[in-house]
Structure 1
Amino acid sequence: MGIAETYSRGREFAIERPFALVLGVIAAYLLGDLLLGLATGQTQFADIGSLAWDGLMRGLVIGLAGIGLSMTYSILNFANFSHGDYITAGAFSGWSTTYLLAGLGRADIGALMLVGAGGSVYGGTLGIGMLSTPLAVIAGIVVAGGFTILLSLAVDRTIFKPIRDEGGITLLITSIGVAFALRYLMQFVFGSDVRGTTAQPPSVGLYLVDGTVFIDAHDITLLVIASGLMLGVHLLLQRTKLGKAMRAMADNEDLARITGIPTERVVRSTWIIGGGLTGIAGYMFILWKGTLGFNDGWLLLLLIFAAVILGGIGSIYGAITGGLVIGLTASMSVLWIPSAFARAAAFVVMIVILLVKPSGLFSGRSTA
């Protein structure tokens, strides 16, 4: 290929896909700046490793919670803004169980069930952790998933189902109302204070060239559970009759009805699967970061929406991939910008990628 032909193709690419060119230039600049920092010693390999691991953990939570939101959109055709408060509800129900089992006989039952509201009891004092109180943590995970399933089914039956035929806008506005109702109900019951939930777990150091990346038991728990559940969703969608029915309904609901697919059963299964994953994601998020507040799910919701949109609205695999991209961006961006702008950086990356690929990373392929 001659120089003239190379120039001609490069010029055509720049004209036809200017945003892709801009993205490439920005990526090259950031990579060059990172390599310069490593060469001059201003940036350490251990710092990059720690931030990448933190981003992976954050991305797994966002991706796991994003599956439920994506399923709701692809099958029920509305953006559920109460999804963030399902996350918080699952977290509180699970941690109430964990506190109760870990602190039974050591603290007041009421204080334990309220997850130490008002500083009445602390998770660190109870020694809560995956290694120190494994049964309490496992029970909390199960209850978080189960409670959120019951909550999502109850809300659907009493609120969403009667207005399901009214259209996506009506459902969306209603879901905002549900979100506020749930959030302030949790604030009323559990209090507005942010409380610590776990004792500091032992960690293992991974030695790099110029430092150490520390990984603890809660990180490994999150990695194993999130990866296992994501694999389970993949197998369900691809290998089971329910998964095929869900994919068919996501593609064309009217055709699915005509062919005899029990659509109400699919809707119920969507809430069960999405609710369970959402509740577990909420519990694991708190286990990983070690603090719990009534606003956690709402604050996480914006990043979840960003992940779902980035991956391609309605795509389960897109939600997972988008979650990892958003999580890694939010963590790694502090190498270049102040940490206060990390969340903003995640949204900027989402916008830039969508300018290049408007339909999302997975081109909007519904459900799978």
Structure 2
Amino acid sequence: MELRTTIARWQRLLEGRSFSVVAGVVGLLLVGDLARRLTSGDLAAAQLLSYLWDGLVFGLGLGLAGIGLSMTYSILNFANFSHGDYLTAGAFSGWSATWLLAGVGTGVGSIELLLIDAGVSTNVLNISVFAAPLQILGGLVAAAVMTVLLSLALDRVVYRPMRDEEGISLLIASIGVALALRYTLVLFYNTDSRGLTAGDATFRVPVGLGSLTITAHQLTLVIVAVALMLGVHLLLQRSKLGKAMRAMADNEDLARVTGIPTERVVRYTWIIGGGLAGAAGFLLALERGNMVFSFGWRLLLPVFAAVILGGIGSIYGAMFGGIAIGIARSVSSIWIPNEFALVASFTLMILVLLFKPSGLFKGRTTA
């Protein structure tokens, strides 16, 4: 009898506005502990702001990458497990272009510039946002363009012939595509981690008795990511293509009957999603200063977590979910070791799924 009563209580807890209540209680407890640590001197205000800033930077990268994944699910109705390797392809192609542009007139060999030799010193070309801004801009454009071309080619060869198949078939196909992409990159770039930039300018913002350190590459990621997200918002809300995308996400059959060119919408979905994935991969590599062939694969789970947290299929959910996962991952270091920081992000995702299975933005909503 007591067991049934307990189960009934938990069922009532999980219904209605329980998520808001639980989230509020947990949030108050964490804020209270933070206030205690700040007033007692266990945690400096500058250190807390540093955690928040690092989380925001990483979260914006995840959110930018998650937009394409969310669009693919919303319009094509399958989870694209090769999306992480789109980030890797964008990062490698973009940085190859950056090094080639930076090496013009320097006499450095093209094989070194293409990063085939991971032992090449990053100081050879002195690449950074301030030292080589045009080369980095060229690399960013190249990363987006090459990933768009890759996305369109893979859609034509793999996904388009399977368009009418069940989602599980497309999911399995995307895993095969991911493996093929990853080890194709290994053929050209091997498995070594390689440095990309020669240092980074830093800015110090005074905070109380300490200071918050912001790097130029972090600032670049934040500015570009926010600008691209704003561009996606304007596209979805104010263009005919955005309206067509929203209509197709809501009801593909009805969109086709009303004359919307669904295949063209699918093509633009790959273009936008691929371009954003390539840009995100390039910017995250810029902020980190290095990359490896499994770079995007390691980011795939956090990107999925961000998309699921916000509501899979929701563009705005992907943006917000990325920031939430990034900040949770960073701020959790106050309470748990850094090695387990990502666990906090997934715990947050699991809690949201338990109390609000459709995600914070209810999912399946392109805009």
Q: TM-score, normalised by structure 1?
A: 0.93
- 2:258 aligns to what? 259
Q: Tell me the distance in 2 between the aligned counterparts of 1:19 and 1:229.
A: 31
Q: Tell me the distance in 1 between the aligned counterparts of 2:69 and 2:245.
A: 14
- Work out the number of aligned pairs and report it: 356
Question: Which residue identity does 1:291 align to in structure 2?
Answer: N
Report the alpha carbon displacement of residue 19 of structure 1 after superposing the two structures with TM. 5.4
8 A contact 1:78–1:168 mirrored in 2: yes
Q: How does 1:97-176 map to 2 (within 5 A)?
A: 97-104=97-104, 105-113=106-114, 115=115, 117-119=117-119, 121-176=120-175
- Label 1:18 to 1:269 Cα distance change in 2 as closer, same or farther (>3 A): closer
Q: How does 1:54-93 map to 2 (within 5 A)?
A: 54-93=54-93
8 A contact 1:124–1:197 mirrored in 2: no
Q: Tell me the distance in 2 between the aligned counterparts of 1:215 and 1:116.
A: 31
- 2:4 aligns to what? none
SS of the residue 1:165 aligns to: coil
- Label 1:334 to 1:169 Cα distance change in 2 as closer, same or farther (>3 A): same
Deviations 1:76-123 (A, max 9, x none): 00000000000000000000011111123342111211x25331x232
8 A contact 1:19–1:356 mirrored in 2: yes
Deviations 1:12-60 (A, max 9, x none): 9858555554444432332222222112211111111111111011011
Q: Tell me the distance in 2 between the aligned counterparts of 1:14 and 1:144.
A: 47
The unaligned stretches of length 5 or more in structure 1 are 1-10
CA RMSD for the aligned pairs?
1.7
- 2:189 aligns to what? 190
Segment drifting more, 144-153 vs 195-204: 195-204
- 1:43 aligns to what? 43
- Label 1:177 to 1:15 Cα distance change in 2 as closer, same or farther (>3 A): closer
8 A contact 1:63–1:321 mirrored in 2: yes
Question: Which residue identity does 1:92 align to in structure 2?
Answer: F
8 A contact 1:245–1:266 mirrored in 2: yes
8 A contact 2:205–2:213 mirrored in 1: yes
Q: Tell me the distance in 2 between the aligned counterparts of 1:66 and 1:340.
A: 24
Task: List, as ranges, runs of 4+ consecutive aligned residues in structure 1 with deviation greater than 6 Å.
Answer: none
Q: Tell me the distance in 2 between the aligned counterparts of 1:202 and 1:58.
A: 18
- 2:225 aligns to what? 226
- 1:335 aligns to what? 334
Segment drifting more, 55-64 vs 217-226: 217-226
Report the alpha carbon displacement of residue 218 of structure 1 after superposing the two structures with TM. 1.1
SS of the residue 1:84 aligns to: helix
8 A contact 2:70–2:315 mirrored in 1: yes
Report the alpha carbon displacement of residue 228 of structure 1 after superposing the two structures with TM. 0.8
Question: Which residue identity does 2:52 align to in structure 1?
Answer: A
Question: Which residue identity does 2:109 align to in structure 1?
Answer: D
Report the alpha carbon displacement of residue 135 of structure 1 after superposing the two structures with TM. 1.1
- 1:351 aligns to what? 350
Q: Tell me the distance in 2 between the aligned counterparts of 1:158 and 1:12.
A: 48
SS of the residue 1:282 aligns to: helix
8 A contact 2:116–2:190 mirrored in 1: no
Q: Tell me the distance in 2 between the aligned counterparts of 1:308 and 1:281.
A: 15
Q: Tell me the distance in 1 between the aligned counterparts of 2:324 and 2:203.
A: 25
- Label 1:21 to 1:92 Cα distance change in 2 as closer, same or farther (>3 A): same
SS of the residue 2:213 aligns to: strand
Q: Tell me the distance in 2 between the aligned counterparts of 1:285 and 1:160.
A: 27
Q: How does 1:230-245 map to 2 (within 5 A)?
A: 230-245=229-244
Q: Tell me the distance in 1 between the aligned counterparts of 2:267 and 2:21.
A: 45
Q: Tell me the distance in 2 between the aligned counterparts of 1:276 and 1:333.
A: 31
Q: Tell me the distance in 1 between the aligned counterparts of 2:13 and 2:163.
A: 46
SS of the residue 1:212 aligns to: strand
Q: Tell me the distance in 2 between the aligned counterparts of 1:205 and 1:66.
A: 30
Question: Which residue identity does 2:33 align to in structure 1?
Answer: D
Q: Tell me the distance in 2 between the aligned counterparts of 1:181 and 1:13.
A: 48
